[in-house]
Structure 1
Amino acid sequence: MSRLTDHLIIISFDCLSALDFPLLKDLPHFQTILKNGAYVQNVKSIYPSVTYPCHATIVTGNYPNRHGVVNNTLLQPGRISPDWNWFRDCIQGTTLYDEVKKAHMTTAALLWPVTAKANIDYNMPEIFANRSWHNQILVSLMSGSSRFQWDLNRRHGHIRKGLKQPELDDFVLESTVDTIKTKKPNLLMVHFTDLDTQRHYHGFSSDEAIAAIDRHHNRLGRIINALKESGIYENSTLVVLGDHSALDENKVINLNVLFHKLGLITSNGKGKIINWKTYCKSCDGSAYIYIKDKHDTATIHVVKRLIDSLLKDPESGIESALTGAQAAEKGADGTCAFMLEAQRGYFFLEDFEGEFIKTITKEDVNADHKYTLACHGYSPEKENYGTIFMAAGKGIQAVTLPSIRLIDEGPTFARLLGVNLGQTDGRVIEAMLKI
């Protein structure tokens, strides 16, 4: 299969929404892409629409229940800070970067989710120190390309302030510019989280979110200039995409509080879970309900009866419920017993003590970052909840498309680089390609 481009640069602006288009279309660097390339008005995300499953979908062309990354974090009841799906081994099947590498092209990734210990030539994976005895720099070095990362940290590490934004994205930007100029990879995947952070802690349309979009515009301009300065601009394809949107909320649902009261979760009385029969695993705007023993019919019956009663209560914050089989039909984790969708204005956490429904204030958010004022994870079928896609450069037609699905992006990227992801849930969007 022939390649349509020599260099594919994929920029993921986490939480970029279809609703952001009125802002983007007036910003010069976004205009450069929009005027000369392909623009998709609405991209349907996946269920649950959270970052790690989304980014695994983008590089595989498959739904979560097929690629295996069904949530951001692992099911670890009682752990205050669960581990994330950081590692490449979490993904089942092949990926875009695997196939590009097999085709003897160079690959690079900067803070792209689910790439720790991946076979990527120049890799700075998104992974953070999740234990008190871990060191952030060392955790990253051990999980990616150590010499490459060491060099970037030596030159640009002074910019970052741990995981704080916008400094983290500023560091990622300098690392991106550096990588383009010195490595000129055939595939470069970059993940920026500034906008997602601002929306979580300040709200969807907050001044802080608008400022983050403006910073992303400037970052995009720097990347375009780097491609030109490195002499590969004319032979490159530049993609800007979002993984999901977000919705404002101010009420949290703690279903584990009810499970705890029913004796389905037991604790030691000092805030630590010592056993569980059922557990509500948050995906922010949705949640999986897992039953520890799938043959425990008594627990299944109690949980189903509770969910039925909550669905009849408009104050419960729960909009709908799926069985595990129905969740699998939508691409989510079919091993769950149930999957719940929150109403607009609500999201799920995993607390098992305190209030079942808690109203969130700005002070709560400032005091504890598990609380937010906007989040995602909701069903992609919710209204005005799509994300966005635009691409320009070699191999791309100037076209506006009304919609595609997130699962279609991976196969389309593979076609641009002349590789194949095999039988995928998504398909190549040929309307945007010059074949």
Structure 2
Amino acid sequence: MNRLTDHLIIISFDCLSALDLPILKDLPHFQFILKNGAHVENVQTVYPSVTYACHTSIVTGNYPKRHGVINNTLLQPSRESPDWNWYRDEISGTTLYDEVKKAGMTTAALLWPVTAKANIDYNMPEIFANRPWQNQILVSLMNGTPSFQWELNQLFGHIRNRLNQPQLDDFVLESTVHTIKTRKPNLLMVHFTDLDTQRHKHGFSSDEAIAAIRRHDDRLGKILKSLEDGGIYENSTIVLLGDHSALDENKAIKPNVLLLQQNLITTSPNGRVKSWKAYCKSCDGSAYIYLKDSYDTASLTKVKQVLDSLINDSNSGIESYLTGAQAAEKGADGSCAFMLEAHRGYYFLEDIKGEYIQTITVDDVKADSKYTLATHGYSPEKENYGTILMAAGNGINPVTLPFCRLIDEGPTFARLLGVSLGETDGKVLKALLKI
């Protein structure tokens, strides 16, 4: 299979929404891509629409139930801070970067989710120091390409302020520019999170979110210039995408409070989960309910009774629920007992104490990152909840398409580099390509 480009640069602007298009059209570098390339007006995300599930769907072309990354974090009820799906081993099947490397091309990734310990030539994975004794730089070095990361930290580490934004994305930007100029990879995947952070903290249309979009335009301009400075502009394709949108909310739902009352959860003296028969695992705008024993029909009946009472209560914050089989039909984790969808204005927390519904204030958000004023994770079927895709350069038809799915992106990117992801849930967007 012939490849359509020598260098594919995939830039993920986390939480970039289809609703952001009017702003993007007025920004010079986004405007340049829109005028000279292709644009998909509405990209349907996956369920649950959380970052790690979405980014894995992008590089596999499959729904979460198939690739296995069905949430950001692991099911660890007794842990105050659960671990995330950081590692490549969490993914079932092949990925875009696996196939590109198998074809003898070079690969690079900067803070791309679920790439820890991946077989990527130049890899700085997104992974956090999640234990008190861990050091962030050492954790990153151990799970990516040590010499490459050490070089980036020596050159640009002074820019970063731990994981705070916008400094983190400024560090990633300089690392991206440097990687393009010095490594010239055939595939480069970059993940920026400034916009997602601002929307969580301040709301979807906040001044802070708009400022982050403008910063992203500046970052895009510097990346485009680096392609010219590196001498690969004419042989490159650049892709800009979002993984999900977001919705404003100010009320948190805590189903585990009700499961505790039903004796489906027990706690230790320190207030943490000691044992459980049923547990609600948050995906922010949606949530899974798992049974410890999938054959425990008594607990299943109890949970269903609780959910039925909530569905009949207009103030419960729960819009609908699915069985595990119904969740699998929508691409989510079929091993759950139920999957809950929040009404607009609500999202889920895993707290087991306190009131069932908590109103979130600005002070709450400042005090604890689990509280937000806008979030994602909702069903892709929510109205005005699509994300966006733009591409320009080699192999790209300058067309506007009304719709595609997030799972169509991976097969399309693979085709650009002349490789295949095999049989996938998604399909190649042939109208987007000059084949």
**TM-score for the superposition, normalised by structure 2:** 1.00
Q: Which residue of 2 aligns with 1:53?
A: 53
Q: Which residue of 1 aligns with 2:186?
A: 186
- The separation in 2 between residues aligned to 1:322 and 1:303, in whole angstroms, is 12
- The separation in 2 between residues aligned to 1:172 and 1:135, in whole angstroms, is 19
Q: Which residue of 2 aligns with 1:198?
A: 198
- The separation in 1 between residues aligned to 2:341 and 2:166, in whole angstroms, is 31
Q: Which residue of 2 aligns with 1:228?
A: 228
Tell me by how many angstroms 1:374 deviates: 0.2
Tell me by how many angstroms 1:78 deviates: 1.9
Q: Could you tell me which amino acid in structure 2 is paired with residue 360 of structure 1?
A: I
Q: Which residue of 2 aligns with 1:370?
A: 370
- The separation in 1 between residues aligned to 2:165 and 2:136, in whole angstroms, is 16
Q: Could you tell me which amino acid in structure 1 is paired with residue 30 of structure 2?
A: F
- The separation in 2 between residues aligned to 1:244 and 1:263, in whole angstroms, is 36
- The separation in 2 between residues aligned to 1:195 and 1:355, in whole angstroms, is 31
Task: Write out aligned runs for 1:37-116 (5 A).
Answer: 37-116=37-116
- The separation in 1 between residues aligned to 2:256 and 2:181, in whole angstroms, is 50
**1:234-275 alpha-carbon deviations (Å, 9 max, x no partner):** 110000000000000000000000111111100023211110
Aligned-partner SS, 1:237: strand
Q: Which residue of 2 aligns with 1:349?
A: 349
- The separation in 2 between residues aligned to 1:123 and 1:20, in whole angstroms, is 30
Q: Could you tell me which amino acid in structure 2 is paired with residue 64 of structure 1?
A: P
Q: Could you tell me which amino acid in structure 1 is paired with residue 348 of structure 2?
A: F
Task: Write out aligned runs for 1:273-312 (5 A).
Answer: 273-312=273-312
Q: Could you tell me which amino acid in structure 1 is paired with residue 285 of structure 2?
A: G
Q: Which residue of 1 aligns with 2:166?
A: 166
Tell me by how many angstroms 1:369 deviates: 1.1
Q: Could you tell me which amino acid in structure 1 is paired with residue 134 of structure 2?
A: H
**1:158-201 alpha-carbon deviations (Å, 9 max, x no partner):** 00000000000000000000000000000000000000000000
- The separation in 2 between residues aligned to 1:65 and 1:296, in whole angstroms, is 23
- The separation in 2 between residues aligned to 1:97 and 1:347, in whole angstroms, is 33
- The separation in 1 between residues aligned to 2:271 and 2:302, in whole angstroms, is 24
Tell me by how many angstroms 1:27 deviates: 0.6
Q: Which residue of 1 aligns with 2:31?
A: 31
Q: Could you tell me which amino acid in structure 1 is paired with residue 330 of structure 2?
A: K
- The separation in 2 between residues aligned to 1:334 and 1:109, in whole angstroms, is 30
- The separation in 2 between residues aligned to 1:262 and 1:301, in whole angstroms, is 11
- The separation in 2 between residues aligned to 1:352 and 1:39, in whole angstroms, is 44
- The separation in 2 between residues aligned to 1:124 and 1:148, in whole angstroms, is 8
Q: Which residue of 1 aligns with 2:330?
A: 330
- The separation in 2 between residues aligned to 1:271 and 1:198, in whole angstroms, is 31
- The separation in 1 between residues aligned to 2:270 and 2:356, in whole angstroms, is 19
Tell me by how many angstroms 1:145 deviates: 0.2
Tell me by how many angstroms 1:96 deviates: 0.2
- The separation in 2 between residues aligned to 1:382 and 1:189, in whole angstroms, is 28
Aligned-partner SS, 2:204: coil
CA RMSD across the alignment: 0.4
- The separation in 2 between residues aligned to 1:46 and 1:39, in whole angstroms, is 19
Q: Which residue of 2 aligns with 1:424?
A: 424
Aligned-partner SS, 1:171: helix
Tell me by how many angstroms 1:396 deviates: 0.2
- The separation in 1 between residues aligned to 2:49 and 2:394, in whole angstroms, is 30
Aligned-partner SS, 1:222: helix
Q: Which residue of 1 aligns with 2:7?
A: 7
- The separation in 1 between residues aligned to 2:106 and 2:165, in whole angstroms, is 29
Aligned-partner SS, 1:226: helix
**1:70-112 alpha-carbon deviations (Å, 9 max, x no partner):** 0000000021100000000000000000000000000000000
**TM-score for the superposition, normalised by structure 1:** 1.00
Q: Which moved more, 1:263-272 or 1:253-262?
A: 263-272
Aligned-partner SS, 2:237: strand
Q: Which residue of 2 aligns with 1:139?
A: 139
For the pair 1:155 / 2:161, whether they are aligned, the reply is no
Unpaired stretches in structure 2, ≥5 consecutive residues: none
**1:187-217 alpha-carbon deviations (Å, 9 max, x no partner):** 0000000000000000000000000000000
- The separation in 1 between residues aligned to 2:71 and 2:57, in whole angstroms, is 12
For the pair 1:401 / 2:401, whether they are aligned, the reply is yes
Identical pairs, percent: 76
- The separation in 1 between residues aligned to 2:152 and 2:31, in whole angstroms, is 30
Q: Could you tell me which amino acid in structure 2 is paired with residue 391 of structure 1?
A: A
**1:34-54 alpha-carbon deviations (Å, 9 max, x no partner):** 001110000000000000000
Aligned-partner SS, 2:402: strand
- The separation in 2 between residues aligned to 1:282 and 1:391, in whole angstroms, is 33
Q: Could you tell me which amino acid in structure 2 is paired with residue 226 of structure 1?
A: S
Aligned-partner SS, 1:244: coil
**Divergent runs of 4+, >2 A:** none
Q: Which residue of 1 aligns with 2:379?
A: 379
Q: Could you tell me which amino acid in structure 2 is paired with residue 267 of structure 1?
A: T
- The separation in 1 between residues aligned to 2:245 and 2:305, in whole angstroms, is 32
**1:325-353 alpha-carbon deviations (Å, 9 max, x no partner):** 00000000000000000000000000000
Aligned-partner SS, 1:57: helix
